[in-house]
Structure formats: structure tokens, C-alpha cells
């Protein structure tokens, strides 16, 4: 925890302020506005400093990385007919506190939704000896075959990324591995016997880039902070994933209202286009005459010259009816008078944390201080720790021992002749005095285009990267560690309220808000080392009342349970 001395000082100041205010009996809200304090935040302060209106609400403390204590783990239900649904895990988790159950988005590409029990966690040292959860409901394909509706044709493999329970509805998200997406979320009944998704979807969370950046894990904003964040009750975010420029290069946090998503995003206009270019579409003559009326909406080409393509509207001219879209139409094929379309509203959101790869912003994010680049990092999910101001973002991080590399990973070390044309051309370089790794040496510049005996992978025309635990083509920056980034909610409020940053004399921007602390999640790596980078951490859920965090990890799905002090 933070220093008790600083906490006492702040409480002493609050008490003095309270005495001064109560001496004048009342202080109008416009008076608070002059002091730069919003009414909801004052209401919290008034309760915290001894008002008879109620008990002091949570939120006065900040949690440190060292305050997380691993109390054990449990595993997925015993292998059976649904065992394949727990392999190559992606997706998120949500803890149903009322029923002491977990909803888990897992399986190949996060395709399945499971509802399982929460057994007493064990400190057993092997997966085989961990207690197994049991099924509460029969598992389902979470997207019911509709995941491809989230992204344009040719985008690549779809993947589930998050799940949340709100009332009787499950909110869940997805994206694709490569390329930008227009839609990000569906909703469905929490009763998994229901085999259809709710009407009004798919939906998009409005962001400055595209919905991908808000399509990851989801966390509830505590009730006592929701007024301060404009009634928003959800935080979500995704990053960094391929292609890294389309998402945050570190954590991402967007605030929005769950009710907007549950209500669905109806079709606000449909018609036949008048024409277009590779980056525009001219809507029908009856479309709105107001400039930017359809800004941030999602346009879906439903027939004619362009079919099943989804794009975000980045500008609209009400006179010419021309909507500018991003990204451009696939293969630069322009709409024409045969192109039919639908327009859907998006769910409004406010970006609170986001790190771009543009304008040298890599240097600002804390992973850079360790490695020089975010390659190989990923974000698993987030949780607002009840009773504190701490928003914890969990993920996988590379401490930067080796130079980042994009290509096919491999485990070999030592000099392999170029003529063999097998994996290793990126080899660790060792300091002969200290024995410490210095980075990598690129030998010969060869490309790997052969079968790797014992691993069964064929990669054609890609560089080879030293990575003994992740062989697939992609970003490599071995080794990988389970990581947690801790943000102060008051810093997030600076962004939301547009407070002035004294360093720039401009309103705070999402990229300027840094974690007050970040580090390796205690005890996890020693107990269950990361053996595949993408499986280090991939789901997070919070038990608010019990002060427990569930973190999913491992090739064989395992929930590690942490408490915070």
C-alpha cells in the first residue's frame, strides 16, 4: 500500500475542509465548480470525511504489485467430450458473484462460452494435482457461427477476446488476427440453453481508431465512481496485437455504458449508393443533410459491387452525401449505383488510456524502459480493485533480454551452417565476461523455408527468431513474464474531465497517463512457468467482495487465484 503518512495528511486536509464548509452550512454546486471539483466527487469526499449520509465508500488507497498474494489454482473440468474447447485458449472471464460461478470465453480462438464452478484453489505444484471445476451449464459456441460479422472479408481468423455478465445478459467481444474491424461486440442470454444471439447486434464501440481497440477484456467501474465518469459503468480495451498499429502498443482503457450495448445498435439507414471511390461511398439522396451526422457509425455494404464489407465512417458531407470510410474498400473496388448499404450507430465511449506507435510514443510506455519495444507483449484483461483507486491491467510482458524480432520462432542455439536452411539464424549473443545475454546476432540473413524436424512447422520466406517456447510466425521477444500494470483512477479522471496538464498547458491525453507501478505478478512464474507466449495470461475476472482475482493461464486452462491486501 501507499504510505500511511500521506494518507493521513490527505484525510487531515479533508477534515479541515469539511469543518470550514460545514461552518457556512451549505456550499452551492456552482461554488464547487469554481474550485474545479465536480459534485459527484464532492459527494464522495463528504461521505469519506464523516458525513452522516453513510459509511465511507472505498477508493482511498492504492494497491502495490507486492500486495498481490497467490493463494492457489484450479483447472478446467476433467477432460471429456468438451476437452478441445479448453485448448489454445483466448478470450476472457467474468465472475458471477451472486452464484459463485465463472463465465469463461475459451477454446480454440476463444470460440466457446463455459459456465463453471469455482472449487477451493490449491497450491499443488502440478496441473494434474489441481482441483477441477465442473460444468454448471452445457457449453456453447459463443458467437453461434456469427463471428465473421465482426470483421471485413479477408481479415483473417476471428478470435473471442472478452466476456461480461450484466443482469441476465452476456456481453462478449471479438476481433480478427490481421486487419481492422468495424464491429466488436454481441450480446446473448446468460442462459446458455438459448441458442441465438440477442437482436440489435453486432455492435461497435466508437473509438478514434476502430472497434478493435475496445474489443478486449471488460471490467465494471465501481458504482461510487460511475457518476464521475459520466454514468459509464464499463472499462474495456485490447492491445497490443497484430497488426500493432491498429491497437494500443500497451494497455487500453475505454469507458462506456453497458446499457447502450444491451440496447443494441439498430440500423439507422439503409439504401442504395449513388457511387463512391476507394475510400468513400455516396449515400442515397434521402440521407441526412447534416454534416457528420453519421460520424463514427458503421456502414455495411450488403450487395452489388461490394458485399459483406464493414467500415467506420470518419466523415460525412450532408450536401454531397459523401461518407468517408476507414479503412478503404477491399482491393480498392469502389461502390457504384448497384451497391446497397446499411448504417448502424456505434456505442459512444471515452478513451482514458491508449498508447500509439506514432510520433515516437513508444518511448513513453513503461515496457519501453525495459526492452525498447513492446514486441511480444499482450493484454489479458483488467479489473478495478474494489475498495481502492487501483485499476489493474494484466498481461504478458517481455523484459527485453533479447532483441525483438518478427518471424518464425525456434529453440535452437549454437552455430547452424547456412546450408542447412533450418530455424536458427537469430542466436543469443552472450557477454563472455558476465555470461549475460546481450541480444541477438543475425547470421546470413537466410529465410526459413523448410520443415523443422520435431516441431512440424513449415514457414516459407520468413526470418527466424530465437524463441524456444513460441514457434509460430509473429512477434518474438523471449522471455515472457506475467505482468500487471497499476493505474490510479484519479489519473483516469484527469483525462475524462479534460483537466489541464501543467507540462503542456493542454488537456490530458490518454497517452500521457502512466501506471504508477508495474511489475511481474508475484509467485506465478515460479509455480507455473510460461511455456507458450500466447498462453501466459489470457483472461481476468474479479471477485469484488472476496478481494480475489482469477487469472487464466497455461496451455491446459488453469485459473490462478490472487488476493490483494
Q: Where are the domains of the chain?
A: 4-48, 70-263+349-399+481-564, 267-344, 405-476
Question: What cell was used for 481?
Answer: 513474464
8 Å CB contact between 386 and 63: no
Q: Dump strand ranges (E) for 257-387.
A: 267-272, 275-277, 280-282, 298-303, 306-317, 322-326, 340-344, 350-353, 378-384
Prior bond of 243 cis (ω within 30°): yes
Tell me the pTM.
0.80
CA pseudo-torsion sign 38, 40, 41, 46: positive
Residues 6+ apart with CB under 8 A from 282: 273, 274, 275, 276, 320, 321, 322, 323, 335
Distance between CA atoms of 155 and 352, rounded to whole angstroms?
27
Span 70-263+349-399+481-564 CATH architecture: 5 Propeller (2.115)
8 Å CB contact between 93 and 110: no
Q: In sequence order, what are the beta bridge partners of 562?
A: 70, 549
Distance between CA atoms of 29 and 247, rounded to whole angstroms?
39
Q: In sequence order, what are the beta bridge partners of 465?
A: 409
- Give the pLDDT of the chain (565 residues) as one tens digit per residue: 444 334 433 444 444 444 343 443 333 333 333 333 333 443 333 232 222 223 334 456 899 999 999 999 999 886 544 445 676 666 789 999 999 999 998 766 657 889 999 999 999 988 889 999 999 998 888 888 887 777 666 666 677 788 999 999 999 888 876 666 778 888 999 999 998 998 878 888 888 766 778 888 999 999 999 999 999 999 999 877 766 667 787 889 999 999 999 988 878 899 999 999 999 999 999 999 999 999 888 888 888 888 777 888 889 999 999 999 987 888 888 999 999 999 988 898 999 998 876 533 333 444 444 433 456 678 889 999 999 999 999 988 877 666 666 666 765 544 443 333 333 444 445 555 665 554 444 433 344 444 344 444 444 455 666 677 776 666 777 778 888 999 999 999 999 999 999 888 889 988 888 889 988 888 887 777 776 666 678 889 999 999 999 999 877 788 999 999 7
Crossing angle of helices 4-23 and 39-48, in 10° steps, is: 110
Distance between CA atoms of 392 and 64, rounded to whole angstroms?
10
Distance between start and end Cα atoms, the chain: 8
Distance between CA atoms of 318 and 324, rounded to whole angstroms?
12
Distance between CA atoms of 134 and 416, rounded to whole angstroms?
48
Distance between CA atoms of 487 and 517, rounded to whole angstroms?
7
Amino acid at each position: 500500500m501507499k504510505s500511511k503518512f500521506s494518507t493521513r495528511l490527505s484525510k487531515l486536509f479533508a477534515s479541515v475542509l469539511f469543518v470550514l464548509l460545514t461552518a457556512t452550512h451549505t456550499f452551492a454546486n456552482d461554488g464547487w465548480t469554481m474550485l474545479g471539483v465536480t459534485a459527484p466527487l464532492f459527494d464522495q469526499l463528504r461521505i469519506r470525511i464523516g458525513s452522516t449520509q453513510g459509511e465511507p465508500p472505498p477508493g482511498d488507497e492504492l494497491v502495490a504489485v507486492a500486495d498481490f498474494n497467490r493463494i492457489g489454482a484450479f483447472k478446467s473440468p476433467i477432460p471429456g467430450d468438451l476437452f478441445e474447447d479448453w485448448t489454445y485458449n483466448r478470450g476472457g472471464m467474468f465472475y458471477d458473484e451472486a452464484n459463485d460461478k465463472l463465465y469463461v470465453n475459451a477454446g480454440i480462438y476463444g470460440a466457446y462460452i463455459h459456465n463453471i464452478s469455482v472449487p477451493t484453489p490449491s497450491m499443488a505444484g502440478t496441473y494434474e494435482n489441481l482441483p477441477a471445476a465442473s460444468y454448471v451449464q452445457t457449453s456453447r459456441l459463443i458467437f453461434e457461427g456469427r463471428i465473421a460479422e465482426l470483421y471485413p472479408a479477408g481479415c483473417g481468423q476471428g478470435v473471442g477476446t472478452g466476456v461480461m455478465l450484466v443482469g441476465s445478459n452476456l456481453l462478449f467481444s471479438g476481433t480478427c488476427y490481421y486487419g481492422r474491424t468495424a464491429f466488436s461486440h454481441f450480446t446473448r442470454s446468460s442462459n446458455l440453453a438459448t441458442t441465438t444471439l440477442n437482436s440489435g447486434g453486432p455492435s461497435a464501440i466508437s473509438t478514434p481508431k476502430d472497434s478493435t481497440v475496445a474489443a478486449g477484456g471488460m471490467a465494471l467501474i465501481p458504482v461510487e465512481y460511475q457518476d464521475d465518469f459520466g454514468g459509464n459503468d464499463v472499462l474495456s480495451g485490447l492491445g497490443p496485437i497484430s497488426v500493432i498499429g491498429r491497437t494500443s502498443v500497451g494497455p487500453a482503457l475505454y469507458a462506456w455504458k453497458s446499457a447502450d450495448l444491451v440496447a443494441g445498435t439498430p440500423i439507422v439507414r439503409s439504401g442504395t449508393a449513388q457511387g463512391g471511390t476507394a475510400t468513400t461511398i455516396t449515400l442515397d439522396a434521402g440521407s441526412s443533410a447534416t454534416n457528420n451526422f453519421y460520424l463514427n457509425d458503421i456502414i455495411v455494404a450488403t450487395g452489388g459491387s461490394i458485399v459483406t464489407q464493414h467500415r467506420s465512417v470518419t466523415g460525412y458531407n450532408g450536401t454531397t452525401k459523401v461518407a468517408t470510410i476507414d479503412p478503404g474498400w477491399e482491393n480498392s473496388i469502389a461502390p457504384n449505383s448497384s451497391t446497397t448499404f446499411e448504417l448502424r450507430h456505434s456505442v459512444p465511449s471515452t478513451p482514458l488510456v491508449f498508447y500509439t506507435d506514432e510520433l515516437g510514443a513508444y518511448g513513453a510506455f513503461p515496457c519501453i524502459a525495459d526492452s525498447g519495444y513492446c514486441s511480444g507483449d499482450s493484454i489479458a484483461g483488467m479489473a478495478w480493485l474494489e475498495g481502492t483507486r487501483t485499476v489493474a491491467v494484466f498481461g504478458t510482458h517481455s523484459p527485453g533480454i533479447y532483441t525483438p524480432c518478427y518471424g518464425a520462432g525456434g529453440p535452437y542455439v549454437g552455430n547452424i551452417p547456412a546450408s542447412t536452411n533450418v530455424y536458427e539464424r537469430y542466436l543469443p549473443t552472450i557477454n563472455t565476461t558476465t555470461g549475460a545475454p546481450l541480444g541477438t546476432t543475425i547470421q546470413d540473413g537466410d529465410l526459413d523455408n523448410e520443415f523443422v524436424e520435431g516441431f512440424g512447422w513449415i514457414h516459407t520466406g520468413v526470418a527466424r527468431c530465437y524463441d524456444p517456447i513460441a514457434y509460430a510466425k509473429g512477434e518474438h521477444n523471449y522471455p515472457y513474464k506475467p505482468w500487471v500494470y497499476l493505474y490510479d483512477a484519479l489519473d483516469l479522471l484527469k483525462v475524462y474531465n479534460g483537466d489541464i496538464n501543467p507540462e503542456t498547458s493542454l488537456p490530458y491525453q490518454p497517452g500521457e497517463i502512466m501506471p504508477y507501478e508495474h511489475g511481474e505478478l508475484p509467485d506465478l512464474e515460479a509455480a507455473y512457468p510460461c511455456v507458450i507466449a500466447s498462453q501466459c495470461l489470457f483472461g481476468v475476472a474479479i471477485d469484488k467482495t472476496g478481494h480475489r482475482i482469477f487469472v487464466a493461464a497455461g496451455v491446459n486452462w488453469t485459473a490462478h487465484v490472487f488476493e490483494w491486501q
